[in-house]
Structure 1
Amino acid sequence: MIHSTPTVGTGTYSYLGPAGTFTEDALRQVPEAVGALWRPVATVAQAIDDVVDGTSVRAVIPIENSIEGGVSATQDALATTPGVRIWGEYLVPIHFALLARPGTRIEQVRTITTHPVSYPQCRNWIAEHLPDHAFIPAPSNAAAAAAAVNDDRVDAAIAGLRVLDHYDLEVLVDDIGDNHNAVTRFVLIGPDHGVPEPTGADKTSLVAELPVDEAGALLRLLEQFSTRGINMSRIESRPIGDELGRYRFTIDLEGHVLDARVAEALKGVRRFSPNVVFLGSFPRANHERPTVTTVHDNAAFATAERWFDELLE
């Protein structure tokens, strides 16, 4: 079942706040959020809960960073919270600066704060210029900026420049990230009612558990995709949490659930795995179309289906 996105400018959109975060930058890319009410929340879990209980029609949350990998809080919440689905993804280039109250000199900086995902992305610069610093984790980069203004324990914050629109801070040092090509991927989540229409440049996300912990179990799971010509753009393991050594796998595939090859693969995974969570099919942020061989395209599956029907006749 295909459902359309909300009407432009209607409803409430939650995002990991406060204002000035990279998540807000991602929300700015969502066309249907223009003119709608934006609701900043403190945690990924709260953003997801807003969608589940109907407080918001959609929410934007971070899911993956090109340097640090997957965002654990997002992956775990999506894997264990029923009623939500991914409807889109957006990419935000990540640019970090060291910010402090007006008049602060870098020689005075002893304690810095930022989000725990942002901190290691600046580790080389920090090690060279602030080797004796103390670090205080913040729930977001914008929250770090707020602490740099209001918390006397904090001398400086690492955040994006957009927070300067909201907090009275000055740039001590700009562009302190270790990788100037860093990008964070954000997902737009909504209720699990249908999927967006296929575009030809789509991605499908799911979570699957292995039935047993034995040699070859993961290979048998991955064969569900390889035998159908499906490329995986990401696979990442997360502990299930019920006992040591048990993991679930978050998998991103090239293609849409309405593509025959993807549909057949998901059926194969469901026969194999004791627990499968379909996270959604949605347009890829880079708009790249996958390379699909003729033996794996929709026409080939349709031909095989007709041949089989003729056998029964």
Structure 2
Amino acid sequence: MTEPAAPPDRRTYSYLGPAGTFTEAALAQVPEARGQIWHPVRNVPEALADVVEGRSDAAMIAIENSVDGGVTTTQDALATIPGLRIIGEYLVPVRFVLVAVPGTRLEDVALVAAHPVAYAQCLQWLGAHLPAHAHLPASSNVAAAIEMLDGTTNADAAIAPPGILDHHELELLAEDIGDNPNAVTRFVLVGRTVAPPSPTGADKTSLIVELPGDHPGALLDMLEQFATRGINLSLLASRPIGDELGRYRFVIDADGHVFDERMADALLGLRRFSPNVVFLGSYPRADRAIVHYPDRYADDVFVEARDWLRGLISGAPED
């Protein structure tokens, strides 16, 4: 009698929970994560520790918001935790709803629970519709709504992502209460160190680079490594290293792939320039926009220049 085939191993993905968060919505965009194990965690360091210590195959974390800028907790963690690689990025529109215990009316709301970042992005709507309300800070928007349902807080309503309505029975008091209808959060899927995937032509390379010292022109020297090779930077953010005043590292997203000759040449320049370069990965852009650059920065131009130099060194006759 033939033994039944063993079920295939399932992969585990950590994400900022509980269910219904924007992070869960980002993870839902990952085709290979569908039907796998989704493990909710409480914060970014816990998600990344799951990956490093082997409890999860990858973690979905927020890294940048179009309104509030970089997520500093994520940036600092990626700068200091070795053995990680970004393997994909995903964009999630930021929409907020106001929810309450079933039976609540909008005019009953006096105390609103929300994460401070979400609260700040809904101030105009709240001022117009609930001018006398008070704010109760929460660790997360989903947690604010769940604690309201459980009766562990005395909030009358909570600001939350729309996905929470798929998981909990709540009264929807208002939709799209965010002040910026174009707000977007960028998430990255982070795994353990692996070789970069093949270039797609619509790629991004993420790096963290320390300046060698606090002297005039240090930042310009770093930026020239990209500018002289025709590489556009879509993100440049500074973060203090923390060991002393005036010491900074820069979080960089550069258009292109490490397998591109111009990007590889730029990384060699950064390595010579900086005391510490952290390569976070080359991966497809979320918008799949093709990276364009002038012909003088094409791969074959770099290859021809190196071949020319080798010929000079070897003493070969010039054409």
Post-superposition Cα deviations, 1:179-221, rounded to whole Å, max 9, x if no partner, equal 1111111000000121122111000000111111122111111
Q: State the alpha-carbon separation in 1 of the partners of residues 279 and 211 from structure 2.
A: 15
AA in 1 matched with 2:248 = Y
2:74 is equivalent to residue 74 of structure 1: yes
1:112-123 mapped onto 2 (5 Å cutoff)? 112-123=112-123
Matched, 1:29 2:33: no
Q: Which stretch of structure 1 is more off in the superposition, 153-162 or 109-118?
A: 109-118
Letter in 2 for 1:193: V
Q: What's 1:39 paired with?
A: 39
Cα distance 1:108–1:248, how it changes in 2: closer, same or farther (>3 A)?
A: same
Paired residue type of 2:145: A
Distance 1:119 1:276 in 2: 36
Does the aligned pair in 2 maintain the 1:16–1:43 contact within 8 Å?
Answer: yes
Following TM superposition, by how much is the alpha carbon of 1:167 offset from its aligned partner in structure 2, in angstroms?
1.8
Asked whether the 8 Å contact 1:9–1:33 carries over to 2, the reply is no
Answer whether contact 1:9 1:36 (CA < 8 A) is retained: no
Whole-angstrom CA distance in 2 between matches of 1:276 and 1:69:
22
Identity score, percent: 59
Deviation at 1:53, TM superposition (A): 0.3
In structure 1, distance between residues paired with 2:138 and 2:104: 20
TM-score normalised by structure 1 residue count: 0.94
1:227 is matched with 228
Deviation per residue, 1:233-258 (Å, 9 max, x gap) = 01011121222332211010000011
CA distance in 1, matches of 2:153, 2:290: 51
- SS of the counterpart of 1:118? helix
Contact map agreement 1:85 1:191 (CA 8 A) in 2: yes
Contact 1:95/1:175 (<8 A) preserved: yes
Is the contact made by 1:63 and 1:187 (CA closer than 8 Å) also made in structure 2? yes
Say if 1:137 and 1:72 are closer, same or farther in 2 by CA, change over 3 A.
Answer: farther
Q: For the residues of structure 1 that align with 2:36 and 2:94, how far apart are their CA atoms?
A: 25
Gaps of 5+ in 1: 1-7
Question: In the TM superposition, what is the alpha-carbon distance from 1:303 to its structure 2 partner?
Answer: 0.8
Q: Does the 8 Å CA contact 2:213/2:247 hold for their aligned counterparts?
A: no
Report deviation, 1:46. 0.7
Which deviates more from structure 2 when the two are superposed, residues 156-165 or residues 40-49? Answer: 156-165
Shift of the 229–143 alpha-carbon distance from structure 1 to 2, 3 Å rule, reads same
**Which of structure 1's runs of 4+ aligned residues deviate more than 6 A?**
none
How far apart are 1:9 and its partner, in Å?
A: 7.9
SS in 2 for 1:189: strand
Asked whether the equivalents of residues 43 and 139 of structure 1 are also in contact (C-alpha less than 8 Å), the reply is no
Structure index of larger Rg: 2
Letter aligned with residue 135 of structure 1: H
Instruction: State the partner residue of 1:282.
Output: 283
Query: C-alpha distance in 2, partners of 1:264/1:118?
Result: 41
Q: Which residue of 2 aligns with 1:179?
A: 180
Deviation at 1:116, TM superposition (A): 2.8
CA shift for structure 1 position 312: 2.4
Tell whether 2:161 aligns with 1:152.
Answer: no
Q: CA deviation at 1:310?
A: 1.6
In the alignment, the residues of structure 2 paired with residue 265 and residue 136 of structure 1 have an alpha-carbon distance, to the nearest angstrom, of 48
- Equivalent pairs counted in the alignment come to 306
* Stretches of structure 2 lacking an aligned partner (at least 5 in a row): 1-7, 315-319
Deviations 1:49-79 (A, max 9, x none): 1100000001101111111111111111111
Matches within 5 A, 1:126-275: 126-150=126-150, 151-275=152-276
- Alpha-carbon RMSD across the aligned residues, in angstroms, is 1.5
Give, as a single letter, the amino acid of the residue that structure 1 aligns with 2:144.
A
| Structure 2 length-normalised TM | 0.92
2:90 maps to which residue?
Answer: 90
Distance in 1 between the 2:128 and 2:221 partners? Answer: 47
